[in-house]
Amino acid sequence: MDIQAFRNDTPGCALHNHLNNAGASLQPLPVIQAVQNYLTEESLHGGYEMAAKYAPEIAGFYDSAARLLHAKPHNIAYATSATDAYFRALSSIPFEPGDVLLTTDDDYVSNQIAFLFLQKRFNIKLLRAAKLPEGGVDPQSVKELMEAHQPKLVAVTHVPTNSGLVQDVEAIGQLCQERDVWYLVDACQSAGQMPLDVAKIGCDFLTTTMRKWLRGPRGAGFLYVSDLALGAGFEPIFPDLAGGVWIAHDHYEKEKTAKRYEQWEKNYALVLGTKAAIDYANNLGLDAIEAAVTDLADYARHQLSSLPGVRVLDRGLRQCGIVTAHFEGIAPEAIKKALEAANIHAGIGTTANAYIDFTEKEVTWALRLSPHYFNTKTEIDMAIEALSGIQ
Ligand SMILES: Cc1ncc(COP(=O)(O)O)c(C=O)c1O
């Protein structure tokens, strides 16, 4: 990997030590230019006219996203965030009172809140599988709960927001396929960081955002919907004229492709920025990206654990580019201040972001460093130096 070339392509690299790619990454020039050029043209020539002129490029988004996931373009829907994509998918599962939704302790906070809402409003039953001693969901527990409760949906977050854990989504996908159970995967923190293959995962839905590891614009995301889910006639609450065609007084016909999950109105500058970002990742290769990210994250974990009073919190058999640590006896504000003074970007998570995980780890907050492939070990060293002097 020519790290310097990627840094030259990323204007923000010259300004900051950006170790907050799990929050929002820095965009490379092709993304910045795609968004800015479209907005300029749109402001001069009209929104509908520009959408028509750029129709082939806009259609190219579906090809690019499909290539990223090893899917087909008709399985892809555009969304305005990972949560938007996720809620559209979740809303399309025809839950009945008493139905079981099986998830994990490490699923994303907003997903957990939505499950709890479904439990409250529609009387579904929420179950969470047990963990392995090393951390991460135990596929055997998933299997046993599936056999005992026949869930309508299994929902797993591939990489949680709050730790470096990578869940074994393929093993759970196989269990779902063997039992014809609908399977929803939140790939918000894995897309753009590691290879994703929806056939290997065996999921019916997979959702992601653009601003994180994919290095795209904010306010954009997308969704994969399997042929099986499309064929079952699932629709999100509420389809609009992108999701259906009004053909009679009291009748509309469903859109055949995953565009059934979209809304008609879109910010096409962001669609083109999204396409540029996915192309950038596809051209680089997700295997190479994962290798570079994992190398930096392992290095950061090693360096952090050598600091007195610092506990690295990441668990699980497989770990990725999210590095979390707790500093005994130090206030998170002091960490923020020290990093800010050294021009270093990082995240701080709290119990509200990961209630079960943080409660079990007996912490109320954690520092999150998330290096991308364009970061360097020197930048990690600078962060360690800034963190080592905190009182
Ligand atoms: C694992 C995971 N899922 C979903 C989301 C939500 O993404 P968005 O803010 O784009 O809706 C996040 C955001 O941090 C996340 O980390």
- pLDDT band at residue 314 using 50, 70 and 90 as cut-offs: very high
Q: Is the CB of 81 under 6 A from ligand 1?
A: yes
Closest Cα partner for 38 from 282, 278, 267, 281? 267
For residues 383 and 381, what is the distance between their CA atoms, to the nearest angstrom? Answer: 5
Q: Is the CB of 83 under 6 A from ligand 1?
A: yes
Position 197 scores a pLDDT of 98
Pocket test for ligand 1, best of 21, 108, 210 (most atoms within 8 A of CB): 108
Q: Is it the case that residue 391 has pLDDT exceeding 80?
A: no
Q: Is the CB of 375 under 6 A from ligand 1?
A: no
**Using only C-alpha atoms, what is the Rg of the chain?**
21
Q: In the chain, what are the domains?
A: 3-24+286-388 (3.90.1150.10), 29-284 (3.40.640.10)
For residues 165 and 314, what is the distance between their CA atoms, to the nearest angstrom? Answer: 6
Q: What is the pLDDT of residues 175-212, one digit of tens each?
A: 999 999 999 999 999 999 999 999 999 999 999 999 99
Residue with the smallest CA separation from ligand 1 atom 16 is: 161
- pLDDT band at residue 389 using 50, 70 and 90 as cut-offs: confident
- 205-209/221-225 β-pairing: antiparallel
Position 390 scores a pLDDT of 86
DSSP state letters, 34-95: HHHHHHHHHHHH-HHHHHHHTHHHHHHHHHHHHHHHT--GGGEEEESSHHHHHHHHHHTS--
Centroid of ligand 1 to alpha carbon of 82 (angstroms): 6
Q: Is the CB of 374 under 6 A from ligand 1?
A: no
Q: Measured from the CA of 158, which atom of ligand 1 is nearest?
A: 1
Q: What's the token pair of residue 226?
A: 């399997």
Q: Measured from the CA of 209, which atom of ligand 1 is nearest?
A: 10
Centroid of ligand 1 to alpha carbon of 164 (angstroms): 15
Q: What is the pLDDT of residues 82-110, one digit of tens each?
A: 999 999 999 999 999 999 999 999 999 99
Q: Residue range 71-87: average pLDDT?
A: 98
